[in-house]
């Protein structure tokens, strides 16, 4: 197995690293405090080709591989997970779903502006009573002949207010259960579609998280993706790729915290020596490093399998599970290494610790990932 990155992959990684340091880092603490969406930075990321990385160039994307995507997500997430989650959703949930399953007309109308960064997308699956149990969709899309009548509420929607294009999962035939679910493309501004209040969150506070309400929204039939009843399968298959993105985000959060802790341990002195000279700190750093490298290998393996066209659902679940748990463990230790300074905002690690928690929850909780893995090894 070749562990060496290609020159193109290195260039993409370095470009993301430079952007994160020069464009995301200034103001990241203030955006977190003010819960401010990084709109200018997301626009610049679109101009750099990072909002449609894996989308073919003919549809406005960069045509890069999944490994490059993982590298970019890690570098952005080291600095600002609120920005990186917007990149993740647009790339791996919205653009991927449209490119793989959309019609040519849908790709030209919606995918091109999304992949080129002109517009931002959102993926709308979760509901007040349908989180991990995604089969229990209460949002309905009733077939009215030439259009669907959409009613219901979605919550925890990333890019909720700043998106222009929404992929909405809804139940059309309740009697068919998960086989009666469809996915519809909804545009911001459609009559009856409103955006609820912004959520006041523990972490990724700059991320644009809202509930959405649909009241008798008329969605044209041509906005349905895939065959009638394909919605649940669409959501599950799209989430497999999304989990690679969130795994890479968790990896980046952990890496960012580790790098800060390592640098601080070399500078901070106690009893006349840098705290890095103390075995207690050395053991913490060694454990953090091992957890990060293990998570990185799982992320890259899942990305490689996807790029090879091989089954990657289990690998994606393993990557997300282990990377998200590593992110929590590493960020907690990073705060501990910083001592009292780790508890104040200017040293960044407390924010990374808060940001880490959500990676164990969204796009499939750690419990759901274990269920996915268990089903694969037992079947």
The DSSP bridge partners found for residue 152 are: 214
Q: In whole angstroms, what is the distance from residue 227 CA to residue 316 CA?
A: 26
Nearest C-alpha neighbor of 73 from the set 95, 90, 56, 55: 90
Catalytic pick among 75, 127, 350, 363: 363
Contacting residues for 287 by C-beta, under 8 A, at least 6 apart: 333
Residue matched to tokens 């993740």: 88
- Tell the residue number behind the tokens 């990896």, with chain if given: 251
Helix (H) or strand (E) holding 288: helix 279-307
Q: Find the angle CA(356)-CA(370)-CA(183) to the nearest 5 degrees.
A: 80
* Residue 359, SS3 per DSSP: coil
Tell me whether residue 363 is one of the annotated catalytic residues: yes
- Buried-exposed string 181-219: b where 16+ CB fall within 10 A, e elsewhere: bbbbbbbbeeeebebeebbebebbbbbbbbbbbbeebeb
The rounded distance, in Å, linking the Cα atoms of 346 and 354 is 14
- CA pair distance 253, 316, nearest whole angstrom: 18
| Rounded Cα–Cα distance for residues 346 and 326 (Å) | 23
- Residues 51, 285: contact at Cβ < 8 Å? no
Catalytic residue numbers? Answer: 363
């Amino acid at each position: 197995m070749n562990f060496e990155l290609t020159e193109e992959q290195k260039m993409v990684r370095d470009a993301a690293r430079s952007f994160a340091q020069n464009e995301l880092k200034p103001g990241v603490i203030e955006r977190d405090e003010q819960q401010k969406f990084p709109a200018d930075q997301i626009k610049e990321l679109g101009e750099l080709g990072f909002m449609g990385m894996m989308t073919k160039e003919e549809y406005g994307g960069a045509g890069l591989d999944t490994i490059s995507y993982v590298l970019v997500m890690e570098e952005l997430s080291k600095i600002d997970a609120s920005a990186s989650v917007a990149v993740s959703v647009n790339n791996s949930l919205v653009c991927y779903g449209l490119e793989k399953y959309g019609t040519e007309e849908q790709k030209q109308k919606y995918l091109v502006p999304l992949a080129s960064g002109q517009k931002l997308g959102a993926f709308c699956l979760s509901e007040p009573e349908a989180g991990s149990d995604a089969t229990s969709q209460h949002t309905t899309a009733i077939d009215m002949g030439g259009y669907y009548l959409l009613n219901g509420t979605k919550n925890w929607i990333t890019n909720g207010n700043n998106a222009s294009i929404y992929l909405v999962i809804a139940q059309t035939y309740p009697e068919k259960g998960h086989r009666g679910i469809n996915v519809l493309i909804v545009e911001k501004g459609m009559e009856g579609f409103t955006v609820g209040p912004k959520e006041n969150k523990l972490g990724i506070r700059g991320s644009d998280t809202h509930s959405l309400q649909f009241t008798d929204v008329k969605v044209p039939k041509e906005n349905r993706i895939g065959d009638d009843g394909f919605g649940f399968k669409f959501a599950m298959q799209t989430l497999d790729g999304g989990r690679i993105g969130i795994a890479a985000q968790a990896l980046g959060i952990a890496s960012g915290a580790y790098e800060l802790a390592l640098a601080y341990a070399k500078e901070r002195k106690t009893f006349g020596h840098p705290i890095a000279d103390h075995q207690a700190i050395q053991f913490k750093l060694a454990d953090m490093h091992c957890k990060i490298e293990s998570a990185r290998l799982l992320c890259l393996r899942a990305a490689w399998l996807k790029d090879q066209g091989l089954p990657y659902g289990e690998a994606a679940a393993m990557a997300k599970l282990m990377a998200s748990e590593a992110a929590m463990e590493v960020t907690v230790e990073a705060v501990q290494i910083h001592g009292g300074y780790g508890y104040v905002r200017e040293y960044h690690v407390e924010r990374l610790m808060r940001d880490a928690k959500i990676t164990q929850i969204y796009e499939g909780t750690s419990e759901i990932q274990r269920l996915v893995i268990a089903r694969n090894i037992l079947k």
